[in-house]
Amino acid sequence: MEPLIRPITHPQSRDPDGIFPLDGKDLNSITDEALAAFFTSAPIIHQLDGTTVVRLSKKLIMKGGGSVLTSEANMLSLLSSRGSIRVPRVHRSFQVKDDTKYFGTAGYIVMDFVQGQPLDECWGGLPPTTQVEIATQVAEMIKAMQSIKLLQSDPIGGGPCRGLFFTDYSAGPFTGTAEIEAWFNHKLDICKSVNQAPKDTPPFHLTEFVITHQDISPRNLILDQHGRVWLIDWGYSGAYPPAFESAALATQSSFPDFNTMVLSRIPRYPEQEVQLDSIAYGLTTAALA
């Protein structure tokens, strides 16, 4: 399925022989203010929904916008030492107060440029055997993420929870597991009260928290020259129950063959996935209730 709105991309942003504003410069010598100013001059790799990624040099990119929060950089830093989960390395991140933005800040993350092809641009033309290899790689990364146990649910370092299961407006910040569990059960109660969820759907009881991305899709994967995939765009990530990953994959309408291949290779949590599906009305029509 083709996206309704296509992101803006400058072709020169991926030119291996291109000239970029930080080529030959020491990142440590550049102020945060100067880095933020590059958003008006550096070639755009990706721009959509108020978030922009620009090419700073042959090796560095910068992601910025009102939805770029500290928790994303924290997650990438946490994962950078784990080779089984391929993510860009963070070199700097900072926040600038901006009352015009939804969260009151504009965030910026300087990280490695992953040389390769966006998987959503090439997936359909890949041989079936290569598609299976990629799905297997993604499944192994998910398993590695789910081997990282955390004590409670939240974005890494705190902040609002975002993603498919937290409405378009985000939710929280929450003070602990009991509060986030109560939030989900409130959504379930709303859905039951208007016959949008089966009355016998059990309440949420959150007991296990692992690293979750919550938006795994070919649009957030880069296929490098060695056939390895890298997982990018960790804005929705956090410590959540493992069912959140499989439920998010099962809900996606784009790239159904990719979703099916990955889902067949990771652990499934049928009861929790049904719970999350049951609160769809509370996350959309009744998002603010």
Locate tokens 């000239």: which residue?
A: 19
What pLDDT, on a 0 to 100 scale, did the predictor assign at position 255?
97
What pLDDT, on a 0 to 100 scale, did the predictor assign at position 1?
45
**In the predicted structure, residue 2 carries a pLDDT above the cut 80:** no
Q: Rounded to whole angstroms, how far apart are CA atoms 56 and 65? A: 16
What pLDDT, on a 0 to 100 scale, did the predictor assign at position 40?
87
Residues 112-136: pLDDT tens digits? 999 999 999 999 999 999 999 999 9
**In the predicted structure, residue 30 carries a pLDDT above the cut 60:** yes
**In the predicted structure, residue 220 carries a pLDDT above the cut 60:** yes
The total of other beta-carbon atoms located within 10 Å of residue 209's CB is: 21
What pLDDT, on a 0 to 100 scale, did the predictor assign at position 152?
87
Q: Rounded to whole angstroms, how far apart are CA atoms 162 and 153? A: 12
Please state, rounded to an integer, the average pLDDT across all residues of the chain. 95
What pLDDT, on a 0 to 100 scale, did the predictor assign at position 256?
97
Token couple for 185 = 């059960």
Whether the model clears a pTM of 0.85, i.e. scores above it, the answer is yes
What pLDDT, on a 0 to 100 scale, did the predictor assign at position 227?
97
Amino acid identity, residue 17? D
Q: Pick left, alpha or beta for residue 273 (phi over 0 → left; psi -120 to 50 → alpha; otherwise beta).
A: alpha
The total of other beta-carbon atoms located within 10 Å of residue 84's CB is: 12
Token couple for 225 = 């020259």
- 270 burial class (0-12, 13-18, 19+ CB within 10 angstroms)? exposed
Residues 133-179: pLDDT tens digits? 999 999 999 999 999 999 889 999 999 999 999 999 999 999 999 99
Q: Which residues contact 52 (CB under 8 A, 6 or more apart)?
A: 39, 44, 46, 63, 64, 65
Query: What angle (nearest 5°) sits at the alpha carbon of residue 143, between those of residues 140 and 145?
Result: 110
**In the predicted structure, residue 223 carries a pLDDT above the cut 60:** yes
Residues 232-277: pLDDT tens digits? 999 999 999 999 999 999 999 999 999 999 999 999 999 999 999 9
Higher-confidence residue: 286 or 7?
Answer: 286
**In the predicted structure, residue 6 carries a pLDDT above the cut 80:** no
Amino acid identity, residue 62? M
What pLDDT, on a 0 to 100 scale, did the predictor assign at position 4?
54
Residues 47-106: pLDDT tens digits? 998 899 999 999 999 999 999 999 999 999 999 878 789 999 999 999 999 999 999 999
Q: Rounded to whole angstroms, how far apart are CA atoms 268 and 286? A: 28
What pLDDT, on a 0 to 100 scale, did the predictor assign at position 3?
52
Q: Do the bridges between strand 229-231 and strand 221-223 make them parallel or antiparallel, or are there none, so unpaired? A: antiparallel
Query: Which 3-state string (H, E, C) describes the chain?
Result: CCCCCCCECCHHHHCCCCCCCCCCCCHHHCCHHHHHHHHHCCCEEEEECCEEEEECCCCEEEEEECCCCHHHHHHHHHHCCCCCCCCCCEEEEEEEECCCCCCCEEEEEEEECCCCEEHHHHHHHCCHHHHHHHHHHHHHHHHHHHCCEECCCECCCCCCECCHHHCCCCECCCCCHHHHHHHHHHHHHHHHHCCCCCCCCCCCCCCCEEEECCCCCHHHEEECCCCCEEECCCCCCEEECCHHHHHHHHHCCCCHHHHHHHHCCCCCCHHHHHHHHHCHHHHCCCCCC
